[in-house]
Amino acid sequence: MKSSQIRQKFLDFFASKSHQVVASSSLIPANDPTILFTNAGMNQFKDVFLGFDKRPYTRATTSQKCVRAGGKHNDLENVGYTARHHTFFEMLGNFSFGDYFKREAILYAWEFLTSPEWLGIPKEKLMVTVYATDDEAYDIWNKEVGVPAEKIVRIGDNKGAPYASDNFWQMGDTGPCGPCSEIFYDHGDHIWGGPPGSPEEDGDRFIEIWNNVFMQFNRDEAGVLHPLPKPSVDTGMGLERISAVMQKVHANYEIDLFQHLLAAAQRETGATDPESPSLKVIADHIRSCAFLIADGALPANDGRGYVLRRIIRRAIRHGYKLGQKGYFFHKLVAPLADVMGDAYPELRQRKEHIIDALKTEEEIFGRTLENGMTLLDTVLGGGKQVLDGDVAFKLSDTYGFPIDLTADVCRERNVTVDIAGFEAALEAQRKQSKAAGTFKMTAGLAYEGEASCFHGYTESSRAAKVIALYKGS
C-alpha cells in the first residue's frame, strides 16, 4: 500500500466517523511564539482546545506537515541514527473538541489499524502503553478491545513529579497537554530494542506508531495545570512509520516516499555506497528545508531562519563527506516535488523560489566549508577524544559551522565537543565585541582593521541563540 493511499485511507476512515477533513496548516505557526515550527497536528487547533476559538465542527482529521528540529520536540540529532526520526514528517491525526474522549479514541485507533477493511495489521504485532495511573484507559484496552495484560504497559509518574514524565504529551512548555496512550509495532526480534518501559525501549524494534493524547489540561507559564473547558482528544500517527509497517520494511527510509529521493541524492552527490547514512540525512533534510522555504522561511542568522540554515548546512556537509564539493542540494527540489507535489502543491508552485534560496545558501557556505573541514580534520587527526571549545568556536565564528554541525562531524568520529569551553569562548567574544563596539564609537576609523570582529559578533550571537534553542527555550 502506497503512502499516499494510507494518507487517504486515514482521512476517509475518520470522515466516515463524522470528522471534518481539514487541510494541513503552515509549518510556520500563525501567531504562536511558543513553538518554533509546527510540531504536531494539534498546533492549528490549540485555541479550539483552549476554548478561545469555535469551529463549526467538533471532530476533525488532518494530515499535517511537521518539523521537529528545535525547541521541545527536537529530533535533528536523531536523524541518520534511528530508523524512525525525521526532521520533517507528516502526522495523521484525529481530533475531538469536547466531543468524544478516551473510549472512542481507542476504539477508532484499533479499528483503523487492525480491521481488514482498513489496514488489517495483525493484532499480535501491536503493544500499547497507558499513563501510569490511567485505569480507565487500561480497562478500555484490556476489557473492551481485548489487548492482553502483557501487551499493555503503564508508563509515567514514577519519579514523584506528577505529569513530568513520558506518556504525558505537551506541545511546548506551555499549552494544552494531557496523559496519553501510545501504540507500538513490533518489527521483530532480529532488530535490537525492547518494549516500551524496558531499558532497551530506545532501540528500533518496538516502534511507536500512534499517540492518542487525552487533552485535559492547559499548562501555564508557572507550570500549573488548569483543566480545559472540555476533555478532548488529539492523536498523531507518523505517516512514514505506518507506511514502513504496511510496506513491510523496517526503517522509514525504505518506504516509497524516500526511494526516488535517495536515488536522486546518490546521483547528485556521486556517492558510491547507496546505503550511506549521509544519503538518508540528505533525503531527510531536503524535505524539511524545501517545505520550510515553501512556507515562507529563509536562511537567516537568528530565530527560525537560523534553524533552517543549520539544517541546510548539515545537509551540505553530508554531501561534502560523500565527496561532492560542488553545489548539489538545490537539485533535489525537483525530485521532491515529483514525489510530494500532488499532496502538497506548494512544492510545485514555489519550486523556483526554493531552488534559489537553497542555491544561495550553498554558495555562501561553500566559501568556508572546505577550509573549516580542513581545520577540523587537522585538529582531529591526532586521535583526540575531545574537541576544544576554542576550535568549535572558531569553526562557528570564522567558518560558519553551526555548533550542531561540528558536533555531528565529531560524533561520527567518536569525539565529544567541549560545549562548556565553546560557551566560554562565545562569552569572551561577546564581551570583547562589546568593548570593541564602544571603542569604535569613540575611535572611529581606528577600529577598521579589526572589522572581522564584527562578523564574529553576529556569528557569536547566532551560536548563543542555537544553544538557547538546544536548551529548549
CB of 113 to ligand ATP, least distance (A): 12
How many other C-beta atoms are found inside a 10 Å radius of the C-beta of residue 148? Answer: 11
* Cα–Cα distance for residue pair 108/460, rounded to 1 Å: 50
* Cα–Cα distance for residue pair 372/413, rounded to 1 Å: 16
* Cα–Cα distance for residue pair 164/162, rounded to 1 Å: 6
CB of 159 to ligand ATP, least distance (A): 18
Nearer to ligand ATP, 183 or 297 (CB): 183
- What residues line the site for Mg ion (CB under 5 A)? 208, 211
| Helical residues (DSSP H) of 322-418, grouped into ranges | 333-340, 346-349, 351-381, 389-399, 403-412
Q: Is 75 in the site for ligand ATP (CB under 6 A)?
A: yes
Nearer to ligand ATP, 84 or 462 (CB): 84
168-207 residues near ligand ATP, rule: CB under 6 A: 169
Q: Are strands 20-21 and 59-67 parallel, antiparallel or unpaired?
A: parallel
| DSSP-based three-state secondary structure for 311 | helix
DSSP state of 145: I
How many other C-beta atoms are found inside a 10 Å radius of the C-beta of residue 99? Answer: 17
Q: Is 240 in the site for ligand ATP (CB under 6 A)?
A: yes
* Cα–Cα distance for residue pair 349/294, rounded to 1 Å: 9
| Contact window for ligand ATP (CB under 6 A) among 82-90, 314-322, 339-347, 350-358 | 82-90
User: Of these partners, ligand ATP, Mg ion, none, which one is at the site of residue 241 (CB under 5 to 8 Å by kind)?
Assistant: ligand ATP
Q: Is 89 in the site for ligand ATP (CB under 6 A)?
A: yes
* Cα–Cα distance for residue pair 241/150, rounded to 1 Å: 24
Q: Torsions phi, psi of 74, nearest 5?
A: -120, 110
Q: Is 80 in the site for ligand ATP (CB under 6 A)?
A: no
Q: Is 310 in the site for ligand ATP (CB under 6 A)?
A: no
Q: Is 91 in the site for ligand ATP (CB under 6 A)?
A: yes
User: Of these partners, Mg ion, ligand ATP, none, which one is at the site of residue 163 (CB under 5 to 8 Å by kind)?
Assistant: none
Nearer to ligand ATP, 240 or 361 (CB): 240
Q: Which of 70, 172, 175, 236 is the binder for ligand ATP (CB under 6 A)?
A: 236
Contact residues: ligand ATP, CB under 6 A: 68, 73, 75, 84-86, 89, 91, 169, 208-211, 236-238, 240-241
